[in-house]
A and B are shown apart, each in its own frame.
Chain A
Amino acid sequence: MSALLEPFRRPERVRRLTAELRQATTRPWTLMEVCGGQTHAILRHGLDRLLPDGLELIHGPGCPVCVTPAAAIDRALELSTSPGVILCSYGDMLRVPGSAGRSLLEQRAEGANVRVVASPLDVLAIARDHPGCRVVFFAVGFETTAPATALLAHQAWRSGLTNLALLVVHVRIPPAMEALLAAPEGRVQGFLAAGHVCAVMGSEELEPICQRFRVPVVVTGFEPVDLLEGVLCCVRQLERGESRVENAYTRASPPQGNAAARALIARVFEPVDQEWRGLGVFPASGLRLRPPYDALDADFMQASSPGIPAASLGSPSICISGRVLQGLDRPTDCPSFGVACTPERPLGAPMVSAEGACAAYWHYRQRDGSAAAGVP
């Protein structure tokens, strides 16, 4: 195992933390991990099965491709079939179906020029190498990927590239957390905030959430030890009746975040109301290009914006992904789970993405497997 990660996976540390958790927990609590990467780590390592009875982790909407509106994917699909367009995006985005059930991966199989990039800056090189093509970057993700998109926008604008455009669906986590807490059905008593988002944005944005809703918010990492430490901090606050922002991920996430990245986001983007697929429109939860960078987006994303129009919710009505993304239902509560809906033939985005809760349950808790699988 990687020397960098090994200390945070060590079995004796995991055992010690679970023992401490059993001691600290006197009542049932429901915590939400916001980030889909954390959901996958929890299920992959089986951490939820190590928790004391009554301590429940529910899974939040922090899966970037899951919350990208179907209308935006439809736009990307449409662009990818336009002559002379090279459409670039992150690999994960390619499998997610739009409103008609088609994905960019299928479109590529039919001849569309769709490319996987690992970094937005790769798009600059593609644009320079293909002056006769229009290169579109389908920019998705949270505050974690927004700085890299901002850097791309800035460099493209500065270098005067005219054949590069951005289809921007960046979303911000704090407004979604507030919406989940304000929802009448909401069950969240404490949040594990995404450590990598806080590594960019700092924890300052989380303070008003704690104050307004009186819930603890613990900045948490992604390895088993990190996650259990986050859960333990959260439970201790709840048991004491506290509600503050606490950082359990100090090794990667300084309280002030990454000043350079924040400045770049502020320079290139401005907040905008944004639809989250399956969830609805949250105020100021999206980012759009501000002048002069909006020139990069002008042709495509038009003016009607606030963000992407909330017109079409692409998911078929049979899919409960909206409820899954809010932590109201577990993926396995869905009658379609593993039957009509699998990663190969997904009904909803959370079954597609490497960050999606449904995919996590599919990979690590398939129904037929769960009968045999349990803590020995």
Chain B
Amino acid sequence: MPSDPAERVQLGHGGGGGLSQRLIEELFVPAFGPADGVLHDAATLAAGPGALAFTTDSYVVRPLVFPGGDIGRLAVIGTVNDLAMVGACPLALSLALILEEGLAMAMLRHIVAAIRTVAAECGVPVVTGDTKVVERGKGDGIFITTSAVGRLGPGPAIGPPAVQLGDAILVSGDLGRHGVAILAARQELGFRTDLQSDLASLLPAVQALLAEGLAVHALRDLTRGGLASALTEIARGVGLELRIQEAAVPIAPAVASACALLGLDPLAMANEGRLVLFLPTAQAEQARAVLQTFQPEAAIIGTVAAAGSAMGGIVLLENAYGVLRRLTLGQGEQLPRIC
């Protein structure tokens, strides 16, 4: 990273867009690896069935309780989902809380109860933890970090390196609900909606896919930065051209309307209970049927169409008029437009 002494961390560095990606590629990967630069939601600690997978994630969200969930539920599900993306079942979870002085004890109790409930739902015990308190004004109520270890199932490794030319690309449900629900819950944009966050464990869907014996090549949960971020990162990592049929990407009308009104891209909106799946085209219909038992909007949205250009991997969107355009990452912080 060019060292400009005046450069500062901006909110966008955490937004899952171009700024985040640069931070990872230019600062963290050189410092910590992996050597091949292909990043995944969880690390596998050894190869093969029965090996352990490990992941960690921090959660900051405002408001702490939002339609469809709260930061506690999010902190467990998000980390369980990261493990699920390598096909691992969670064995144990750690929980670190940073509390801001003045946080209502009732809110903390609510969050802890939510964590207990959702951990039980996901079948993962919380086995270790830590608490710190910072002065008022130095935190946003509560920040949570969870880490988890899980055990890989039988079958070949699931991850971007397994993606092949000709693979079908599916999403497990309609996109953008979490991002829009959070924006609406902040009440800053002056719109109301009945939308709930899509927050949900993806483990049952992944286990169902694997139980069907489907040759799952890669999975990615669609969190910050949405589908745009996930596909761009995978395309870059593996150097292939992904081609998406824009009209096939399921977006709820309320999400589409809110995004159209605010000038936001639904493909870049955050999700917390949706994944993108790569597997052989011959198995696409079967995989869709499995996913639709969890979310009826699950859809086949595209294919791995070609080897990448000289510039490396690329994601192309084909619209309903037959025109192709490149899918790019947003900057980071999605900002509403003026008019």
Contact = CB atoms under 8 A, between A and B. Distances in A.
A311 interface: no
B260 interface: yes
A109 B8 contact: yes
Interface of B: 8-12, 18-19, 22, 188-190, 241, 251, 253, 256-257, 260, 262-263, 309-311, 314, 316, 318-326, 328, 331, 333, 335-339
A365 B325 contact: yes
B326 A364 contact: yes
A106 interface: yes
Contacts of A344: 18-19, 22, 331
Interface in A104-130: 105-106, 108-110, 116-119, 122
B314 A372 contact: yes
B256 A2 contact: yes
Nearest to B259: A2
Interface band, chain A: 35 or more
A343 B331 contact: yes
Contact of B326 (A93, A119, A366): A366
A222 B321 CA distance: 16
B324 A46 contact: yes
Contact of B10 (A43, A106, A119, A141): A106
A3 B253 contact: yes
Interface string A1-44: 11111000101001100000000000000000000010000011
A142 B335 contact: no
A369 B336 contact: no
B188 A116 contact: yes
Given A371-B309, A372-B314, A49 B323 contact: yes
Contact of B325 (A5, A144, A364): A364
Contact of A118 (B18, B188, B241): B188
B12 to A, nearest CB: 8
Given A118-B189, A373-B326, A375-B322, A355 B241 contact: no
11 contacts: A11-B321, A46-B319, A90-B338, A94-B335, A105-B10, A106-B10, A109-B9, A110-B8, A353-B337, A375-B324, A376-B324
A273 B239 CA distance: 52
A224 interface: yes
Given A2-B256, A49-B323, A122-B188, A368 B339 contact: no
Contacts of A44: 325
Of the listed residues B256, B257, B314, B320, the one surrounded by the most CB atoms of chain A closer than 10 A to its CB is B320
